[in-house]
Chain A
Amino acid sequence: MVAGIKARHGVLFGAMAVALLCTGPARAADPDKFKIGGVVSLSGTYGIFGEDMRKGVEIAIEQRGGKVLGKPIQVIWEDDETKPQPAVQKTTRLISEGVQMIFGAVSSASSIAIMNIAKQRKIPHLVTMSADDKITVPNGSRYTFRTSNTLGMEQRMALSFTKEQKLKRVYGVTADYQATRDSWEWYRREAEKAGVEIVGADFAPLGNRDYSSIVDKIARSNADGVALFMTGSDAVTMVKQAGQVDLGKTRKIFGPVIADETMAAGVGPASIGVYSGVRYHFTVDNPANRKFVEAFRKKYNELPSSAAGEAYDGMAWWLDTVEQTGSWDKEKWVAAFENSVRDNSVEGRKSMRACDHQAMQDGLWGVVEKGAPPAPAYTMKIVKVFPPNQVFDACQP
């Protein structure tokens, strides 16, 4: 009992210590700088993505000489620990420190939380990673823009893959949170309409540590396709453990965002043959991408990941738009970005849709293959490019 009481004290003090550690020094507003508040996951389930996004943004800033509107750009990075509550606290603090815009986050829950603050405080907000369709809806937030993929695009590609491969029976495993659940429900409805039988559907907690029981259920089912609606550590663990019983040899494993070079590195050989939507890829062949990949390799001595590419693309586009307005008026930036077209995006042409602030773009679908240097050991090969009209619905107000 004494130990219990001591433990409780300990927890309290522990919490105080955490609170102390998380409180940085206040920074005074400086009108001589273009300040960006970057709220990304540097720890937690999606911690791996935040660091790559930071690298992408840094290249975007470097390529314009570190300046916009004649003033140096300063990015203040904060870690939301892949949780909405710290995202809210850190965004609020960044805004009080006078940032001109917010960049982030990784998890959709965090991005939606940030979106609401940005709307209230009338601060532009750029999303290049979170894919929840609710972030860009008609008559949504005036201040939030997404230049990256939506889960809607990715689930459409997954459905198209199901039909193309003529899969008959699909087993679905979904990370148990809102965005992935919505996405799975959509897929399930559409797949059933197309005559696909859903032979099983499991919802595992976000940050789940062991999928072997679920893998065993799939192995005992007669499914010919395994649809995974999850990403990050969840997808890596699931695909790795599926490989431990060779599930991929008899069934197609696919999902909206279950594989890229980062995730495949954690899975190893079992990732080969796994199909996934791809947000950005270093092999996309156009001058802008070649230039970006070269700059990235020179600075970091590695190829850019999806997270890095999308972050670079969004930030470069946004800063160019701000530059063109020649003004410090945030409303002018928002108005200009709403109707902006990016012909030289690293993923080809992107155009911002004024009705919902979503960038229209191609959808990339790929499969993991063995890579040859300088590409990573397990690398994505883009097998299909979907034009925007196949992966986006018309904007209905």
Chain B
Amino acid sequence: MSTLIIGLSLGMLLFLLASGLTLIFGMLGVINFAHGALYMLGAYIAFDIGRHTGSFVAGLIGATVLVAAAGALIERLALRPLYNRPHFYQLILTFGVILVISELVKIVWGLGYQESTMPEALAGTVELFGSTIPVYRLFVIGFGALVSGGLFLLIEKSTFGMLVRAASSDGEMVRLLGLPVSSVRMAVFALGSGLAGLAGAIAAPLFPIELGMATNTIIDCFIVVILGGLGNIRGAVAASLLIGLVRALGYAYMPSWVDILTFALLIATLLTRPQGLFFRATRSA
């Protein structure tokens, strides 16, 4: 039972991270290699704000806003001229963005590990099903559920979401109707980046903050996006939880097989349902 809770918390963390990636891919068609780097940047910013203000919430908001702003800047300056070019331009560009962000982080915070302490209110533990569970893990589950619900409402029910979906299915037509497609795209990229920053801030107290964060997590993210179906938010939630549970169960019963299990799941999905496990459910996105 405690494994289930750990699995859910792993899954929700993964969802926070993968949601931005899948959003950007689904709505803009951009495969953003730099997503992991934005996540790392979020963790460093949250750590630094937390260190200076002593407030976890300030770090959370600061990381989200600043990384979203960085995302908007990247979209405006670098990605926008490339939308009409073949995909690989975007890949090389976002790969370059990783290098830039990594170097920036090295210059500002150095190569060493950084450590972000948990907020007092969430630092304790609770006894559940015979196991000691950190309260923070439960917070991650709740927060992830909240964000997934909010994101779903935003994309599927709001006017902004409608505009985004319209722009992603036929940008030219939306532009002809006099709507600001460029701004919508920038907003989506900023939103996706902000989610990466938020994930970094949430992850900061759980893991060592280090440069390797970017590369370590991006692979899991891509697995989630592929399993969930490219650009599918509901799929991403389900796939994140699935991966989280597989990993938690794997760690509990056969830790040396965890990576193999995860990749086996990926390969099996690609062979049988290359459009993602949850493709049929949400064709619209």
- Least CB distance, A91 to chain B, in whole angstroms: 23
Let me know if A204 and B247 touch, CB within 8 A: no
Let me know if B132 and A14 touch, CB within 8 A: no
- Least CB distance, B285 to chain A, in whole angstroms: 13
Known: A6-B87, A51-B111. A205 touches B256 (CB 8 A): yes
Chain B 113-133 near chain A by CB (<8 Å), digits 1 or 0? 111011000000100001111
Contacts of B206 on A, CB cut-off 8 Å? 240-241, 244
Known: A10-B31, A210-B247, A266-B209. A48 touches B256 (CB 8 A): no
Report which of A11, A44, A220 forms a contact with B130, defined as CB distance below 8 A. Answer: A220
B216 at interface by CB-CB < 8 Å: yes
Contacts of B10 on A, CB cut-off 8 Å? 210, 212
B136 at interface by CB-CB < 8 Å: yes
Let me know if A233 and B117 touch, CB within 8 A: no
B207 at interface by CB-CB < 8 Å: yes
Known: A14-B92, A213-B252. A47 touches B114 (CB 8 A): no
Contacts of A236 on B, CB cut-off 8 Å? 113, 208, 210
Interface residues of A in 205-231 (CB under 8 A from B): 205, 207-214, 216-217, 219-220
Q: List the B residue with the shortest CB-CB distance to A262.
A: B112
**A205 CA to B247 CA in the complex, in Å?**
12
B149 at interface by CB-CB < 8 Å: no
Number of interface residues of B (CB under 8 A): 53
Let me know if B137 and A212 touch, CB within 8 A: yes
A331 at interface by CB-CB < 8 Å: no
Let me know if B112 and A48 touch, CB within 8 A: yes
Q: Which of B131, B212, B247: most chain A CB closer than 10 A? A: B212
Report which of A3, A6, A13, A266 forms a contact with B115, defined as CB distance below 8 A. Answer: A266
Let me know if B131 and A267 touch, CB within 8 A: no
- Least CB distance, A347 to chain B, in whole angstroms: 23
Contacts of B274 on A, CB cut-off 8 Å? 1, 4
**A208 CA to B251 CA in the complex, in Å?**
10
B248 at interface by CB-CB < 8 Å: yes
Interface residues of B in 200-228 (CB under 8 A from A): 206-212, 215-217, 220
Contacts of A47 on B, CB cut-off 8 Å? 111, 211-212
A386 at interface by CB-CB < 8 Å: no
Contacts of A263 on B, CB cut-off 8 Å? 113
Let me know if B256 and A176 touch, CB within 8 A: yes
Size bin of chain A's contact surface = 35 or more
Let me know if B251 and A204 touch, CB within 8 A: yes
- Least CB distance, B217 to chain A, in whole angstroms: 7
- Least CB distance, A123 to chain B, in whole angstroms: 28
Report which of B9, B210, B259 forms a contact with A205, defined as CB distance below 8 A. Answer: B259
Let me know if A214 and B112 touch, CB within 8 A: no
B143 at interface by CB-CB < 8 Å: no
B91 at interface by CB-CB < 8 Å: yes
**A267 CA to B215 CA in the complex, in Å?**
20
Contacts of B210 on A, CB cut-off 8 Å? 48, 233, 236, 266
A294 at interface by CB-CB < 8 Å: no
**A171 CA to B210 CA in the complex, in Å?**
27
B3 at interface by CB-CB < 8 Å: yes
A237 at interface by CB-CB < 8 Å: yes
Known: A237-B208, A245-B134. A262 touches B6 (CB 8 A): no
Report which of A3, A17, A205, A262 forms a contact with B113, defined as CB distance below 8 A. Answer: A262
Contacts of B220 on A, CB cut-off 8 Å? 209
B161 at interface by CB-CB < 8 Å: no
B2 at interface by CB-CB < 8 Å: yes
- Least CB distance, B56 to chain A, in whole angstroms: 14
Interface residues of A in 1-48 (CB under 8 A from B): 1, 3-4, 6-7, 9-14, 17-18, 43-45, 47-48
Chain B 245-273 near chain A by CB (<8 Å), digits 1 or 0? 00111011001101100000000000000
11 pairs across A/B with beta carbons < 8 Å? Answer: A12-B88, A48-B113, A203-B255, A209-B216, A209-B220, A212-B6, A212-B9, A213-B255, A236-B210, A237-B208, A244-B136
Known: A214-B251, A216-B252, A233-B210. 16 other contacts (CB 8 A): A7-B31, A17-B95, A51-B111, A204-B251, A205-B255, A205-B259, A212-B137, A220-B130, A220-B131, A236-B113, A240-B206, A244-B125, A263-B113, A266-B115, A266-B209, A266-B210
